[in-house]
Structure 1
Amino acid sequence: MLPKETGCGSGMTCWRRLHEWQAAGVWDRLHRSLLDHLGEADRIDWSRASLDSASVAAPRGGKETGSNPTDRGKQGSKRHLVVDGAGVPLAMKHTAANVHDSQMLEELMDSIAPIRQPRGGPDRPRKRPEKLHADKAYASRRCREALRKRGIKARISRRGIDTSKRLGRHRWVVERTLSWLNR
């Protein structure tokens, strides 16, 4: 129940407004505005970014759902997220749960909006981190080449070679942010 004394109205009204604002792009504009504010305050850590995804159950199905290979084929979605060095979400995409993580790398990196820089710094907004940390799901030649074309240094675990302990000391920020979103 939502408290009426705070002006929330009925639960149905809140649900309807949430969907209206979503359709109008209010949340995307709010995210952009917050990123610009953080960028102007020099609070975005462009030295490194981390990328990962997490599966989310979707028992009712929907547009961006598919059978989840990690949950006995039940319907689900995936959140693909790239964060800065401090865990600030730079971009997020949703797909069906059966879409492989590596297929979303280029689209996700290209969806990082240009973010304003501090006054006195470079005039052009920035949208590329220096390095990108990712797990073995992104360990393909195609992913590494896509990052190289964008001028981003790949820090991706290699299958059968790297342990997750060494590279995980920078990737934990994306894991933490994904866990906050899944609460």
Structure 2
Amino acid sequence: MGRRRKKNNRNRNRLPKVRANEQIRAPRVLVIGPDGKNLGVMSVREAMGIAEEHGLDVVEVSPNANPPVVRIMDYGKYMYELKKKQKKKDKTPEMKEIELTPTIGDHDLQVKLKKAREFLEKGHKVKIEIRMRGRQMLHVDITHNLAEKVIAMLDDVAAVDVEPKQEGRFVHFILKPRKK
């Protein structure tokens, strides 16, 4: 039997290579100043001279353009912003689950809904599952009323993503956060 290889995830979250100052290979570049104004096409040396006056770096922001576009800015700050964007892109909202029963007490329901509200405010979707036991299956209308009550109580922070539906002993539905 052959050995199984472990998948390499190191390259998945890697930031693109960004050239700065002497690393820029193009002879002439389009320069954007620290204030965002177009300074025109010039050599990398001239751009580095301007950057040095401001105490900043020449950072290549669009290497594939003709001529390549560089910006006079702080390299460290630019990399920090790129990392922050990457992290934000990698974050996907999680699905949280809350389980109820048709005979739940008022206070218990308030506690569960408070938790659901917290999840929704953090941007997560919430799957609410109402479990029926034994003879509760004969009174599905009570369960559906509870589902409608929950939806009404969370209406200010949530919209229904998946309508309440019954599958076996469960009635479940999914709420998604409302856009602010």
Could you state the TM-score of these two structures normalised by the residue count of structure 1?
0.23
Higher relative strand content:
2
Choose between structure 1 and 2 for higher RCO, CA contacts under 8 A separated by at least 6 residues.
Answer: 1
